[in-house]
Amino acid sequence: MIEFTRLRNDVAGGRIMECAWFSATSDGHHWLIRFGPLTNQAWTYDYVEAAFDSINLYLVSSLRSWVENQKALGRTVGKNRAVGMVSKRPVPDSATYHQLAPLWLAYGSAGYFQALTSDTIHCPAFRGAKALREFTALEDYRVKVRVVPGPGGVPTIVSFLETNGPPPGGPFWWPAGVLWTNAVFAVQQFTNIGPFTVPVEASLKVYAPYRARGASQPEMLEWHVYSVQAGTIRLVSPPRSWRPELPELTHVGDLRFMGDKRRPVPAFGYLVQGKWYTEAEVKRLPEYRKAAGLAPARATGVTAVRLLVLAALVSGPLLYYLVRKHWMPSR
């Protein structure tokens, strides 16, 4: 296990900068990442925690401050104070929480890239031409990659490539079949700690194609820039569970059954507190049966009482990172 700690708030002239605190733990095959805004903001999330236990990908976002703020304004809100997601994808889709992508690439992707047997992967962060054309296909949004191996399993460079044609609304992209660079992840510095080799500094640059009036070909714009910097690095004990904690009533979106060959089930949601449901437990929920098109379960004379067990608390120190995000002005 490795721990990183870093807190810094920089200001870059001429750019909009977003800073956040981060913590994470990884052993190269499992990972747990936690992050949140540096300042308390009632209109946004308190923190996000994501993890991969080698089978399922979990994500939970605490909305406690936002819920309290809405109640203070006299607005009606739901019962839950957090939202979550569980799926079988090993690559996190951070379209909602964009800060997760550079952290996963730097500190959670080693086992994934070591086992990679194809040059096409689920896209962890970026929404290019295909995404703009096919919103219903985002869950299976894939891009090609070119990987430059690095020490310890984490690649030194990963280039993400698009091959899609232009979306409706304008000829901003190259013709279908032409590769263009969607994003580039790069590690600037590694360090060794015990048996691990880990990044100290890394960056993720996301590009956007732009075609000026009268130009025959688009040009690439540096649209988003993420900088990751590790501070304190030390070995720590592994957590008792590679799953996020669920201290609040949470509305979970379950995507684990979408790829079921016998009975594919679209994403559906349910309320839970204290633990993540297993697949067997979820299949007994009325929300699952409705999503699967099954008849409601028949009532019996025995009422089953399900005890909610508190999730195991994550033990040991976590890893802290800083990711700095810059938005370049649009042309």
Model pLDDT, residue 55: 93
| Contact present, 202 and 188 (Cβ < 8 Å) | yes
Top-confidence residue, 144 or 123: 144
pLDDT beyond 80 at 164? no
Return the minimum-mean-pLDDT range out of 1-10, 47-56, 125-134, 171-180.
1-10
d(CA 128, CA 166): 10
pTM of the model: 0.79
Top-confidence residue, 227 or 305: 227
Model pLDDT, residue 303: 33
CA distances from 93 to 85, 134, 138, 150, 302 (A): 11, 16, 9, 23, 41
Residue 298 binned pLDDT confidence (cut-offs 50, 70, 90): low
Average pLDDT over residues 150-168: 78
| Contact present, 273 and 82 (Cβ < 8 Å) | no
Average pLDDT over residues 21-27: 83
| Contact present, 205 and 183 (Cβ < 8 Å) | yes
Residue 318 binned pLDDT confidence (cut-offs 50, 70, 90): very low
Instruction: State which H helix or E strand residue 133 sits in.
Output: helix 129-133
Average pLDDT over residues 49-56: 94
d(CA 228, CA 225): 10
| Contact present, 110 and 28 (Cβ < 8 Å) | yes
Average pLDDT over residues 62-79: 88
Model pLDDT, residue 80: 92
Return the minimum-mean-pLDDT range out of 163-172, 236-245, 320-329.
320-329
Model pLDDT, residue 165: 52
Model pLDDT, residue 312: 30
pLDDT beyond 90 at 210? no
Q: Which residue has the tokens 């810059």?
A: 326
Task: Take residue 19 and report the two structure tokens written for it.
Answer: 């800073």
| Contact present, 207 and 221 (Cβ < 8 Å) | yes
pLDDT beyond 70 at 105? yes
Top-confidence residue, 119 or 134: 119
The single-letter DSSP state of residue 153 is G
Residue 21 binned pLDDT confidence (cut-offs 50, 70, 90): confident
The single-letter DSSP state of residue 113 is H
Task: Take residue 264 and report the two structure tokens written for it.
Answer: 């594919």
pLDDT beyond 70 at 57? yes
Average pLDDT over residues 69-73: 87
Mean pLDDT of the chain: 76
Q: Which residue has the tokens 């920089």?
A: 10
Of 22, 84, 64, residue with least CA distance to 231: 22
Model pLDDT, residue 306: 33
User: pLDDT above 70 covers what percent of the chain?
Assistant: 72
Most confident of 13-22, 31-40, 274-283: 274-283
Return the minimum-mean-pLDDT range out of 52-56, 103-107, 226-230, 285-289.
226-230
Top-confidence residue, 323 or 205: 205
Beta strands 82-87; 250-254: pairing state: parallel
Model pLDDT, residue 325: 40
C-beta atoms surrounding 285 within 10 Å: 17
With left for phi above 0 and alpha for psi between -120 and 50, is residue 263 left, alpha or beta? beta
| Contact present, 53 and 242 (Cβ < 8 Å) | yes
Model pLDDT, residue 273: 93
Model pLDDT, residue 320: 32
Residue 284 binned pLDDT confidence (cut-offs 50, 70, 90): very high
Amino acid at site 51: A
